[in-house]
Structure 1
Amino acid sequence: MNVLTVPSQAAIPFAVPSSRWDDAMAASLSPAELLLYRSNLLGSDLTVTNFGGGNTSAKLSEVDPLSGKAVEVLWVKGSGGDIGSMKLDGFATLYQDRLLSLEAHYAGPGDDDKMVGYLPHCTFNLNGRAASIDTPLHSLLPFAHVDHVHPDAIIALAASSGGEAATCEIWGGKIGWLPWKRPGYTLGVQLRDYVAANPGLEGVMLAGHGIICWGDSAKACYEHTIDLIAQAATYLNIKFAGKPAFGGVVDSLSALDRAAASADLMPRLRGLMTGQKPGSGRKVGHFSDDAETLEFVNSRDFLRLAAVGTSCPDHFLRTKIAPLTLDAARLTDDAYLGEQLEAYRARYAAYYERCKRANSPAMRDPNPVVVLVPGLGRITFATDKTTARLAGEFYGNAINVMRGAEALKEDGGAGYIGLDEQEAFDIEYWLLEEAKLQRIPAPKPMVGRIALVTGGAGGIGAASAARLLADGACVMLADRDAAAVEEVRAGFAKRFGQDGVRAVVCDVTDEGQVQAAFDACAREFGGLDILVANAGIASSAAIEDTTVDLWNRNYSVLAEGYFLTSRAAWPLLKRMKLQGGTSVVFIGSKNGVAAATNASAYASAKAAANHLARCLALEGAPEGIRVNVVNPDAVIRGSKIWDGDWRQERAGAHGIDPGAELEAHYRNRSMLGRDVLPEDIAEAVYFLASDASAKSTGNMINVDAGNAQAFTR
């Protein structure tokens, strides 16, 4: 890896948001729809709030379904929602008079958790959406429309030693300041009393976690929120005044070296991230080398600031309080990586022991979520790709906060301030947060698994990928047909979500393309657990008509191609031995077991691949790598192979029409008299890739509707 020395440069500026309110769009909306419109506008702008962050509310007049009379109802973002993507059913609705009456049950800060239990008793119109712990911040303020957001430019003020002074300087007393207090009823009471004691305020900065502001209408509230963020961002950008952030950029790797290093490092880390018990908790990775991250990790202040940890609760709930930092010169040293991970787990366990309460939940996974490497960037690990990506984005928010907070520090002093350790623990292990985690459905069986499927645009390849994706796996589709594999990927992205599926162009006969495909899989997801070797061709010719080129083409794809993909997969698969092992599934053929007329090149190449699988099963067993074969027969529907000359050739070999008569021929010759579909092969692939076959290797499963000639012996 080549290190490039880069001169110090001006800090990356904060984006300055502007209003995107559309009066024509808003004119036809109901009051509740205006709240949703405002919320979606705020949440879809990452300069305003991060995913799942912030909450909005409106106090609206509704007809009570029991009395038939008009009542005031608080519409507020429900627990766990995202204001950028939510619909109307994402709001909790509560009787405002009942919410105000709850104070009779409040005796002080020790009652925060108890007060959350009263919120369901205030529900309006049987709305099943749970109210969030921030509900009191909205209900206790006397304003019709309230926004509470956590934009980076605002949190930079809220998490800086100079934040209160800057708030006064920017807004001249129109925006107040409250010291840190964990979200809950007590904060709501403090906020209400502070606003009442300071008439004329237009908002309040909540130290450590954002700003809350209000307006008389949905539009006025939205534009006020945007203006406040824009003013904070502009102020910070002036403070930078061309100066470098974090003490200046020191060095970086080239983009090509970053790509190569991340593909090598991520599987190493993933394989060493053992769970609290052996074999538990496989993780998926996400890599980012965006400009903001490189500015941070390449700086002289990097280690100091990383050790402080994140400050905003929204951030560290996703990222843990602090990241793991690595020495860029030792990334290929497994012993070093293992020591660093073990040391991190020990520090996390010590943090838990120092801070735990008598009723704290059990310690969660002690492995790091965020890994930072100078010259390289940011890697995040989680149980699934979406969570890993979001964790990375949240740490990106934390980096922006650090940059802005540091710009406010006085000479020689600290700028950025992290949360007190005990406060951080009490939020991370909050019983209300634990209850929310317990409500999350159990993960699907393949969550945390990563598969690469060759021939991923074909019938069997696509069906196998779909089966794995349906149960939570991440899948890299590899195919030599760029347009076809992208079409399949796009379809799967709509069906299963964007995060879990990627595509790469790969001709399995090209050694360089094969290696690049596995590097891409490692970089995109963090490694490999499952290889489905499926890319294939088919040809039919009598021996006298079989040319050397035809013979070599079959062996190049069906034997050498399987060898090249297996060899490239092997180092990645070996990495997961501590996690319970990995699986290779070859898509063979009935013709690899049973002789076929006029198909010597194809059938013998398939037989070679099948025997390669048996050899690899022997070699892989000590490494926890299982290797098995699925032998299909006559998978005609959805098959790209059967769309070509193979259909004509096989029909000719049997002396039948290549149309419907061919399908009937194969169906009728089977012992069960049934068609074999790509989805049938996919079920066998899934079985051999899953833990259901954890004690099977070196086996063949025939999926051919029954063919006595292909019985394995």
Structure 2
Amino acid sequence: MTETVDQLIARSNRLGSDRANTNFAGGNTSAKGIATDPASGDDVELLWVKGSGGDLGTLTPAGLASLRLDRVRALENVYRGVAHEDEMVAAFDYCLFGRGGASPSIDTSMHALVEKAHVDHLHPDSGIAIATAADGERLTSQIFGDRVVWVPWRRPGFQLGLDIREVQRTHPEAVGCILGGHGITAWGETSDECEANSLWIIQTAAAYIAEHGRAEPFGARLPGYGALPDAERRERAAALAPSIRAIASSDRRMVGHYSDDPAVLDFLERAEHPRLAALGTSCPDHFLRTKVAPLLLDLPATASVSEQLDRLDELHETYRADYRAYYETYADADSPAIRGADPLIVLVPGVGMFSYGADKQTARVAGEFYLNAINVMRGAEALSTYAPISDAEKFRIEYWALEEAKLQRMPAAPSHRGRIAFITGAASGIGKAIAQRLAAEGACVVVADLDLDKARATAAELGGPDVAIGVAVDVSRASAVRAAVDETLLAFGGIDLIVNNAGLSMAKSLLETTEADWDLQHDVMSKGSFLVSQAAASALIAQRLGGDIVYISSKNSVFAGPNNVAYSATKADQSHQVRLLAAELGEHGIRVNGVNPDGVVRGSGIFAGGWGADRAKTYGVEEQELGQFYANRTILKREVLPEHIANAVFVLTGPELDHTTGVHIPVDSGVAAAFLR
């Protein structure tokens, strides 16, 4: 048993690691073998198959469903036909062997009913190109001879498994089949034979398309629709991103992903792209992530930003009306409610593709799927005409009751899921603690710091590019701030939550403070906070989603200790910026609040940089005792740590205080002299 499972996992990982073989989380693999039933001691034949929702490239044994093969095959005795497919998925639960493991997918019957020990079902671009060609059946015979058999489109389920079993029984010379409108299935007596057959089908299809396909399947290049130069293209994408996110988020907040893959740019430059984009995708996995069709901007790249934005708003209204009409045409009394009428893919000629999802990974994968769809269209058009499944069939998949049930079983989203946080000075200290807390609550996080290496290291700790990115920023320079915000817009599609945390301090008396000391602290904290808030506000307003700006100020903004005139003055400046911006930005739903820490010694970048030693000297204590010194002079006698500041930011930006703006929350364990009045 162990050897069979090990072979299955290794084969799955090899196949799934190459997107030419299958899309992310798409397809499934299986193996049959003998195991001992611990309840009886008898040998039983089992089916191990990739479970629902897993990804082949990262599959582990825990991602397999284990079923009694005899019981799955016996379901044929109770199968009532295609109108009752959903019953069969529920019936798989009565076929499970042992405890644990993944939930069986809708494709389980395909793997069980085929009478070979190993089966692969994959979604390769080359295979789907044949599957979606108008004359796919003829092409299948022409390309593969009698080794691969055409199976007309059928929605995944028990009947499709019966269909493929019949192919395998009546065509003993075949190693697999092309599933019309869908993908491929291959089989073999050994794991190696099955993998070899899968790869042979994929590679043979790709080679045939390359050798026999038309050179320009998407047609001639359209004047004015070519890709903008690199720098101009990214600048244009950043300028459009907030407004496009607003389009994608009018029903529910979405995170975005931007791609200027050459294949996307070439597709959008060609004469046939409007016709093909309107046809939508075909493989079931594709349109579950991309919706039935994208929103396509019908203007050249030479149009101005304002012209593009105006036209996108018009197209959005049309898209929503068309999608509602699609839903109302095919929905019946048992259909799940409409899940929103906004596009998940937005295509802009000369600029690229914007894709959306509830989180970054979902948004990125949606973009990858549409790139798969472009590759499929290219292959189908090269040999024939692209002919995806009908809208009626797409609706049956998109609004399948089984998919709806899966969505309803998902756990409640964390409070900050779908929100994009930009935190300055976030590679260490208080900023890092805030980044960690917001990421843990589901936010996408931009770790903005003067030290790029440390920013990237922190982002990697938080979970990598689907969770966090590190960017370099000198907050005292407007151009650097603008570049960092643009990088945020390109990485996550927008920006929601800004934390002005970057800071420094030098403990000097009035007479010792130089003009340079004064300018440096004001440039970083006063001017820097202003520049960051200003750059972010334009995106926040364009998104029409509200937002939060939080200033990490200080107890010293209302109560100044000795020998820190520059620091205290700049913190007072930040404190009043909170009030001013709260009053100005409130009409856009943007809340602006502050946090006033004090005595954050352990883990603080400022204190570690010399401020702690200077403060200890001022108060006549040892530096290692400074934290306790600050704690002892508070009402609560508790030391303040970076995570306490992070807690305040979390609460201020969460749903519980969504009617609060213009406030400063002290996180100082109680300093009576700093009570706000």
TM tier relative to shorter chain: over 0.9
Aligned partner of 1:407 among 376, 382, 389: 382
Q: Name the CA distance, whole Å, in 2 between partners of 1:275 and 1:569.
A: 20
Aligned twin of 1:233:
206
Q: Name the CA distance, whole Å, in 2 between partners of 1:168 and 1:274.
A: 45
Aligned partner of 1:517 among 484, 494, 503: 484
Aligned partner of 1:118 among 74, 91, 111: 91
Aligned partner of 2:646 among 682, 690, 694: 682
Q: Name the CA distance, whole Å, in 2 between partners of 1:429 and 1:198.
A: 35
Instruction: Give the 3-state SS of the residue equivalent to 1:499 in structure 2.
Output: coil
Q: Name the CA distance, whole Å, in 1 between partners of 2:98 and 2:515.
A: 77
Do structure 1's residue 246 and structure 2's residue 218 form an aligned pair?
Answer: yes
Is the CA contact (8 Å cut-off) linking 1:636 and 1:663 kept in structure 2? yes
Mark the runs of 5 or more structure 2 residues left unpaired by the alignment.
none
Instruction: Give the 3-state SS of the residue equivalent to 2:227 in structure 1.
Output: strand
Is the CA contact (8 Å cut-off) linking 2:554 and 2:598 kept in structure 1? yes
Report deviation, 1:572: 1.2
Would the alpha carbon gap of residues 617 and 127 (structure 1) be closer, same or farther in structure 2, given more than 3 Å must change?
Answer: closer
Do structure 1's residue 107 and structure 2's residue 67 form an aligned pair?
Answer: no
Is the CA contact (8 Å cut-off) linking 1:77 and 1:91 kept in structure 2? yes
Aligned twin of 1:286:
257
Report deviation, 1:643: 1.2
Aligned twin of 1:447:
417
Is the CA contact (8 Å cut-off) linking 1:478 and 1:505 kept in structure 2? yes
Aligned partner of 1:651 among 605, 608, 616: 616
Q: Name the CA distance, whole Å, in 2 between partners of 1:484 and 1:122.
A: 51
Q: Name the CA distance, whole Å, in 2 between partners of 1:528 and 1:498.
A: 15
Report deviation, 1:330: 5.8
Is the CA contact (8 Å cut-off) linking 2:600 and 2:627 kept in structure 1? no
Q: Name the CA distance, whole Å, in 1 between partners of 2:40 and 2:651.
A: 58
Aligned partner of 1:609 among 574, 589, 598: 574
For 1:706, the aligned partner's letter is: G
Do structure 1's residue 472 and structure 2's residue 436 form an aligned pair?
Answer: no
Is the CA contact (8 Å cut-off) linking 1:245 and 1:295 kept in structure 2? no
Is the CA contact (8 Å cut-off) linking 1:330 and 1:336 kept in structure 2? no
Q: TM-score, normalised by structure 1?
A: 0.92
Instruction: Give the 3-state SS of the residue equivalent to 2:66 in structure 1.
Output: strand
Aligned twin of 1:632:
597
Do structure 1's residue 66 and structure 2's residue 39 form an aligned pair?
Answer: yes
Q: Name the CA distance, whole Å, in 1 between partners of 2:247 and 2:105.
A: 37
Q: Name the CA distance, whole Å, in 2 between partners of 1:492 and 1:652.
A: 36
Do structure 1's residue 432 and structure 2's residue 432 form an aligned pair?
Answer: no
Aligned twin of 1:301:
272
Is the CA contact (8 Å cut-off) linking 1:163 and 1:408 kept in structure 2? no
Instruction: Give the 3-state SS of the residue equivalent to 1:631 in structure 2.
Output: strand
Q: Name the CA distance, whole Å, in 1 between partners of 2:436 and 2:590.
A: 23
Instruction: Give the 3-state SS of the residue equivalent to 1:41 in structure 2.
Output: helix
Report deviation, 1:420: 0.7
Q: TM-score, normalised by structure 2?
A: 0.97
Report deviation, 1:298: 1.3
Q: Name the CA distance, whole Å, in 1 between partners of 2:79 and 2:638.
A: 70
Is the CA contact (8 Å cut-off) linking 2:64 and 2:101 kept in structure 1? no
Do structure 1's residue 166 and structure 2's residue 139 form an aligned pair?
Answer: yes
Report deviation, 1:475: 1.1
Do structure 1's residue 332 and structure 2's residue 299 form an aligned pair?
Answer: no
Q: Name the CA distance, whole Å, in 2 between partners of 1:471 and 1:162.
A: 50
Is the CA contact (8 Å cut-off) linking 2:216 and 2:382 kept in structure 1? no
Do structure 1's residue 533 and structure 2's residue 500 form an aligned pair?
Answer: yes
Q: Name the CA distance, whole Å, in 2 between partners of 1:272 and 1:61.
A: 54
Is the CA contact (8 Å cut-off) linking 1:265 and 1:332 kept in structure 2? no
Aligned twin of 2:558:
593
Within a 5 Å distance, the mapping from 1:90-105 to structure 2 comes to 90-105=63-78
Do structure 1's residue 548 and structure 2's residue 518 form an aligned pair?
Answer: no
Within a 5 Å distance, the mapping from 1:661-680 to structure 2 comes to 661-680=625-644
Aligned-pair Cα RMSD in Å? 1.5
Q: Name the CA distance, whole Å, in 1 between partners of 2:169 and 2:610.
A: 82
Would the alpha carbon gap of residues 273 and 321 (structure 1) be closer, same or farther in structure 2, given more than 3 Å must change?
Answer: closer
Instruction: Give the 3-state SS of the residue equivalent to 1:537 in structure 2.
Output: coil
Aligned partner of 1:130 among 100, 103, 108: 103
For 1:68, the aligned partner's letter is: G
For 2:379, the aligned partner's letter is: G
Is the CA contact (8 Å cut-off) linking 2:264 and 2:374 kept in structure 1? yes
Q: Name the CA distance, whole Å, in 2 between partners of 1:519 and 1:129.
A: 41
Instruction: Give the 3-state SS of the residue equivalent to 1:305 in structure 2.
Output: helix
Instruction: Give the 3-state SS of the residue equivalent to 1:111 in structure 2.
Output: helix
Do structure 1's residue 43 and structure 2's residue 16 form an aligned pair?
Answer: yes
Instruction: Give the 3-state SS of the residue equivalent to 2:57 in structure 1.
Output: coil
Q: Name the CA distance, whole Å, in 2 between partners of 1:288 and 1:128.
A: 36
Q: Name the CA distance, whole Å, in 2 between partners of 1:90 and 1:618.
A: 52
What is the aligned length? 670
Report deviation, 1:75: 1.1
Is the CA contact (8 Å cut-off) linking 1:576 and 1:582 kept in structure 2? no
